[in-house]
Amino acid sequence: MNKRYVSIWFPHLVTDQMAIRQKELDGQAYVLVAYEHNKQIIVGVSHEAKKLGLKPNMPLADARIIMPSLQAFKHQPLRQQKLLKMLAEWFIRYSPYIALASPDGLFLEVSGCTHLWKGEVPYLQEISSRLKNAGYHFKIGMADTLGTAWAITHHGRNQIIKSGEQLQALLPLPAKALRLADDTLQRLAKLGFHQIESFIHIAPSTLRRRFGEEINLRIGQAIGHQPEAFETISEPHPYQERLYCLEPIQTAKGIEIAIENLLENLCRILHKDDVGFRNATLKCYRLDGKLQQISIGTNQASIHIKHLFKLFELKIKQIEPDLGIELFIMEATKVEKLPKQQEALWQIQAQHNLSEISELLDRISIKAGKNAIRRYLPQEHHWPEHSITAINDLQQQPETEWPNHKLRPTVLLNQPEPIQVSAPIPDYPPMNFTYKGQLHRVIKADGPERIEREWWLNEGKHRDYYYVEDEKGQRYWIFRLGHYHSEMAAQWFIHGFFA
């Protein structure tokens, strides 16, 4: 199947927006201004402003003498490019492949898209209707190549060129429809080559000798003999499914049906590649152009449709359909190899305590937050805060046993926090300590337990840890950093809390 491209040209892209702004001002005069040498200088004027004799390069202060109520707006040189990028993102509802044709146009690669609108003609009619309703002036065309689509949009009359008829469509068009450089166009004009038909059948070697390599390249690209780069604004995700709605969706039930359909299609694709969801995002494109999206994550790779749907279902309330959603896109933003026990799309086989636990954790995470549940495995390090590591995989087994021969706190701070301590010397436990402005009197204590720093990783003092209990029965894990020194106050820290 030949690729099909749509070219959309906005000949008055900025002017359109200025006209909209002028309408909003009820026909008032306004100007665009920019700073030059610390002065506001007019760089653009509206039709009403022109009638008053205002013109570019006039200081704004002088213009206000003529028209005190003059409306002035800051000139934004990159506004056209930003607007073009915004339009490109809006067109994602019509094709996943959108490219900028700077400075005032867009390209869409629409192969496999037009059937959703029952053909190429209704497809272009739908796009044209939406753009007209938004107040844009534009020209639109479709062909097998980017070059021909651009040519008929800028210089032709036909909207749709049938597949394989690029050459016939190009013949009556002017030479500049091939996007040639100005000096090449001037040389062609001197020889009387004004239309493409007057030179396109000349031998390529002759054209190259007289006009350079560019002319053969552009002819080849327009006809389809030479490839042309198509740089999309954002590359579609490899695991992505789209669902276009013939009628805008406004209800939660409609969103649920869309999610189920997308999950079924995407899980089927993932199953073929023996991978499953770890993270997924649902994007909902509304009629007003705004994007709503929700995301889910799983503790292990999954293509269990019912489970994945339940995770999305918990977040549907976050979607605001407003006037309606016209396009749903689901992406598997992170995938992993499926665990061995999950072999069928429609079920999880026996043995499955681990999978059931994983799905339970997924549901809790959706409600409580992504980081509400964590799993840790031991690491062989002396320092307590380095002796554990966070793990996402429920199946991963520890490389070393948990050290259970020594008492450790239930809650360990990520970093020890300084405290003020009163303690006998040199190695007696503290009599009291102050933490976050609160005094704790120690009634029971045990220690010290010395934990040395790993000299092969970094240098520094050792820690002497104590287990202490205050008058309220609360127990803490605190330590003194380094040896006691009579001429220097010892540094004490709290590192954990016991249940």
Looking up tokens 């309606």 gives: 324
In the chain, what percentage of residues exceed pLDDT 90? 43
List pLDDT tens digits, range 9-56: 998 776 555 554 554 455 667 776 777 777 888 877 777 788 888 888
Amino acid in the structure at residue 309 = F
Could you give the CA distance from residue 468 to residue 482 in angstroms, rounded to a whole number?
19
Q: Decide which of 435 and 30 is more confident.
A: 435
List pLDDT tens digits, range 244-303: 888 889 999 999 999 999 999 999 999 999 999 999 999 999 988 788 999 998 888 889
Domain 240-367: which CATH number of 1.20.1560.10, 3.40.250.10, 3.30.1490.100, 1.10.150.20: 3.30.1490.100
Q: What are phi and psi of 40, to 5 degrees?
A: -85, 115
Q: Which of 89-93, 369-373, 423-427, 463-467 has the lowest mean pLDDT?
A: 369-373
Domain 5-9+81-223: which CATH number of 3.30.70, 3.30.2450, 2.130.10, 3.40.91: 3.30.70
List pLDDT tens digits, range 409-426: 888 888 899 999 988 776
- Outline which parts of the chain fall under CATH 3.30.70: 5-9+81-223
In the chain, what percentage of residues exceed pLDDT 70? 88
Instruction: Assess whether pLDDT exceeds 70 at residue 349.
Output: no
Could you give the CA distance from residue 255 to residue 497 in angstroms, rounded to a whole number?
46
Could you give the CA distance from residue 92 to residue 103 in angstroms, rounded to a whole number?
19
Q: Which two tokens stand for residue 124?
A: 């272009």
pTM, rounded to two decimals: 0.60
- Outline which parts of the chain fall under CATH 3.30.1490.100: 240-367
